[in-house]
Amino acid sequence: QSNAMWGGRFTKQPDELVEAFGASVAFDQRLAPYDIAGSIAHITMLAKQGVVTLQESATIVEGLEAIRSEIEAGDFVWEQALEDVHMNIEQKLIERIGPVGGKLHTGRSRNDQVALDLHLFTLDEVATVDTLVMELQTALCDCAEHYFEVLIPGYTHMQRAQPVLFAHHLLAYAWMFARDRERLDGVHQRADLMPLGAGALAGTSFPLDREWVAKELGFTALYENSMDAVSDRDYVIEALSALSLLMMHLSRLAEELILWSSTEFGFIELDDAYTTGSSMMPQKKNPDMAELVRGKTGRVYGHLLGLLTTCKGLPLTYNKDMQEDKEGLFDAIDTVKNAVRIFTGMIATLTVREEAVSLALREDYSAATDVADALVRAGMPFREAHEVVGSMVRYCIEHKKPLTEISASELKQFTELLDVQTIASLTPAALVAARHVRGGTAPAAVREQLRLFREHYLSR
Ligand code: ARG
């Protein structure tokens, strides 16, 4: 016989390269715990339904548990000739307990089996990522709280715009990550469908109790269409999409940490544990981890686009193309989990260089909007006020002085509606305090924001 699993129909061994090219066991062995859990539920149900005897089911369960221990101990020998995780385990089972092991696959196909494994994997991993992101949000909130008094310049177009609380800036990311977690939860909801019973594509003639298996494995629902069950990879694509957005947010934060820790900004210092030195330049302290997360964002996007492309022309139902769904998902999950863990540590250990930020705030012209607003309150139309303050800023830049240090005689050249005290009072702290609208950067508003955030996203 040429192949232990389907030898009957064949007279030849596969070509050597065909075997290597077609095998997935090198990576899908990672699904073994789910494969075994699924098999145990399946055979237990077959016994309950009288398709196999209780004795047979008990022997098979015992064999599967022994194999599980062998895998956990690292003693299991995976064989490429057996193609994938499913056939490796089934073959080992038959070797171990004899021909009765061949009853396990009754009413089942590798098509619904692999679908089951990947659903279980996705559900587990998505929940883990969710927890890790919550830890990152906690680190962001703690850092925001710790540096609550610190103001930094806020930017648009990468030009200084208006001062903000450092906490406000950090919390912006915490909210983005909150939506990432909501998306992960959506993935979880839609991946929560049990495919077994679909067989190869059309269902099975054995009296399976699909509801029982679903419940046993912790699913809340099952596929209502067997062809959908073995064809669907939507949930994998959706997971990759949610992970891509999460990486995009991490990557933007990475970019800011890199900028802020440069000599030019000097706003923060990253902890030594999250930076590296240079082999040549002794003075260097490089934000490698932030850069690497920014860089690895590309590969996660790549996996999303890869699988979307793989699936776009596939007719129903299972096609071998679909074996390409796994490596990208595995890599995306591993990449995201490590990236989030590293960011949690990086945020928890960074220090803000408060003198540098306050110096930066002194040098900018971010009081301009509020000077214009003061003119508006004194009766001037905003467009006119904008023009007047624009000329004042140009004058101050030419004379190398902050807007708030303009003298009374200088001010007269521009407007009679304001006095210097009003302008001098527009310190960064005053500008920030003035923005007390809900969601604004005033300390009271940010306090409330932080409270809301902790209440909704961190209390679990
Ligand atoms: N290794 C396969 C995969 O990953 C399992 C399903 C194979 N089914 C089949 N009929 N060839 O998709």
Residue with tokens 């022309």: 313
Q: Supply the residue whose CA is at minimum distance from atom 11 of ligand 1.
A: 320
Asked if residue 367 and residue 322 are part of one domain, the reply reads no
Q: Are residues 254 and 287 in the same domain?
A: yes
Cβ–Cβ under 8 Å, residues 261 and 218: no
Does residue 35 lie in a domain region? Answer: yes
Residue 153 falls within a domain, yes or no?
yes
Residue 406 placed within a domain: yes
- Same structural domain for residues 337 and 276? yes
**How many angstroms separate the CA atoms of 169 and 151, rounded?**
10
Same structural domain, 293 and 383? no
Looking at the fold, whether 83 and 184 belong to one and the same domain comes out as no
Per the residue annotation, which of 2, 69, 262, 278 is the catalytic one?
278
Is residue 262 annotated as a catalytic residue, yes or no? no
Average pLDDT over residues 283-292: 92
CATH number of the domain bearing residue 395:
1.10.40.30
Of 34, 35, 109, 114, the residue with max ligand 1 atoms within 8 A of its CB, to mutate for a pocket test, comes to 114
What value of ipTM does the predicted structure carry? 0.96
| CA 321 to centroid of chain Cα atoms | 26
What confidence score (pLDDT) does residue 4 get?
Answer: 65
Q: Based on the residue annotation, tell me whether 278 is a catalytic residue of this protein.
A: yes
Q: Give distance in angstroms: CA of 104 to centre of ligand 1.
A: 17
CATH number of the domain where residue 25 is located: 1.10.275.10
Domain that holds residue 40: 7-106
Nearest CA to ligand 1 atom 4: 323
Query: How far is Cα 34 from Cα 65, in angstroms, rounded to an integer?
Result: 12
pTM of the full predicted structure? 0.94
Residue ending a domain, among 91, 106, 121, is 106
Domains in the chain: how many in total?
3
Q: CA 55, CA 160: separation in Å to the nearest integer? A: 75
Pocket test for ligand 1, best of 30, 79, 80, 84 (most atoms within 8 A of CB): 84
In this structure, the residues whose C-beta lies within 6 A of any atom of ligand 1 are 24, 28, 84, 110-111, 114, 318, 320, 322-323
* 1 — pLDDT class (breaks 50, 70, 90): very low
> Quick one: average pLDDT of 175-182?
98
Q: What is the pLDDT of residues 299-325, one digit of tens each?
A: 999 999 999 999 999 999 999 999 999
Does residue 324 form part of some domain?
A: yes
CATH number, domain of 172, equals: 1.20.200.10
- DSSP code at position 151: E
